[in-house]
Structure 1
Amino acid sequence: MRPYEKNPQAIYAESFATVRKEARLDRFGPGMEALAIRLIHACGMVEVADRLAFSDGVYAAGQAALQAGAPVLCDCEMVGAGIIRRYLPAGNEVIVTLNDPKVPGIAAGIGNTRSAAAVELWAERLEGAVVAVGNAPTALFHLLELIDEGAPKP
């Protein structure tokens, strides 16, 4: 066998160093840079940095929401599982509603995907929450539709 790194701390440090070396991070402020690095590390694609869209103040708003105990609403189990709970500052609840038994019926009723229907179940927790969308664009699009219709903003 080839020699390979076995020390978890060294592997972790090296993987983040590789992200910093290979990704174009110059357009991000300190908070967004850290978030971009985590996203790249999670998916293994440095080009994610070139595709991230965000608004001014979003990092500070998300950080403040988490500090205040806001829940993290996720579009799918994969995203929810990827959140390292010990890093959440206030024991924040991570909520994934995709597998709720009501979702198929809601999806049929709204004529959309299960991912979009799962967003309907966020209503009571949406205001001030942090939303993490991974692989379900219909969840994001439906959330934007609901906000356009007057739903509270996360």
Structure 2
Amino acid sequence: MSQMQQITAQGRQIEQDSFAIIDHEIERDHGGHSFSPEQWAVVRRAIHTSGDFEFAKLFHFSDGAVERGIEAIRNGAKIISDVNMIVTGLAPRRMQPFGVEAHCLISDPEVIAEATEQGSTRAKVAMQYAARLGWLDGGIIAIGNAPTALYEAMSLCQQGKINPALIIGLPVGFVKADESKRDLMATQLPYIACDGRKGGSPLVVAALHALMVEAAK
């Protein structure tokens, strides 16, 4: 076995050991959980990423959201994110078997020019641009930073301009982050979201990786 293979095997074992600890401690110290196995796969990986068991109380799923996400991945859906950190964080080895591609348009010259002209945010205009490209229909919208992107995605859905398979709405921060997630959870859209100011790109990546692992089963 090569060193790279050995490191991979060791890393996989560490991950499995970590999940076992989380499963044990959620029951022993936190009163268990009420998530479905597929939902728990998402929440557990969020806890693993953050070290924060509070996410077992903060995460929410619309009916069938995880199943829609799994199906979208199996169908090779595009993932459209609000920041490049999400694209960078996703493991190609998890995406490639399904032909899944991840994109962030926030640095596209057309987006920058249009946002400057509108006096808007690049994150908001990037969602508009992705909609014009047709990338959001059947795709997964992944928001970990910008509430303006999440609000624009919701607006495009409500106008009937896009029909995403899933919205992962986990923006972190102090300006409209909590409000945007609450507004998302008040809709009939397919979502994975959490309460409060917590969130961020690493949690979005964790959720997407969990969906990809489930899709591979």
| Fold similarity call, TM over 0.5 | yes
Cross-structure match for 1:78: 85
Matched ranges for 1:29-108 at <5 A: 29-88=36-95, 89-108=97-116
Gapped runs of 5+ residues in structure 2? 1-6, 165-217
SS of 2:61's partner is coil
Do the aligned partners of residues 22 and 117 (structure 1) sit closer, same or farther apart at CA in structure 2, a change above 3 Å counting? farther
AA in 2 matched with 1:96: C
In structure 2, the residue matched to 1:126 is 136
Q: Judging by fraction of residues, say which structure has more helix.
A: 2
**Separation (CA, whole Å) in 1 of partners of 2:129 and 2:25:** 39
Contact kept, 8 Å, 1:85 with 1:91, in 2: the verdict is no
Q: What's the C-alpha RMSD, in Å, of the aligned pairs? A: 2.2
With over 3 angstroms needed to count, the CA separation of the structure-2 counterparts of 1:110 and 1:17, relative to structure 1, is farther
Q: Which has the higher contact order (CA 8 A, sep 6+)?
A: 2
Deviation at 1:29, TM superposition (A): 0.7
CA displacement, residues 97-154 of structure 1 (integer Å, 9 cap, x when unaligned):
1111122222234443221121112111111101211122221111101111221211
Choose the corresponding residue for 1:13, options 8, 12, 16.
Answer: 16
Percent same amino acid among aligned pairs? 34
The amino acid across from 1:105 in the alignment is A
Runs in 1 of length 4+ with deviation above 4 angstroms? 22-25
- Residue in structure 2 matching 1:151, options 161, 179, 186: 161
Corresponding residue for residue 113 of structure 1: 121
TM-score of the aligned structures, taking structure 1 as reference length: 0.83
Secondary structure of the residue that 2:80 maps to in structure 1? strand
The answer to whether the 8 A contact 1:128-1:153 is kept is: yes
- Shift of the 103–35 alpha-carbon distance from structure 1 to 2, 3 Å rule, reads same
Letter in 1 for 2:128: E
Which sits farther off after the overlay, 15-24 or 71-80? Answer: 15-24
Write the distance in 2 (CA, Å) between the matches of 1:115 and 1:140.
Answer: 9
The CA distance in 2 between the partners of 1:110 and 1:41, in whole Å, is 40
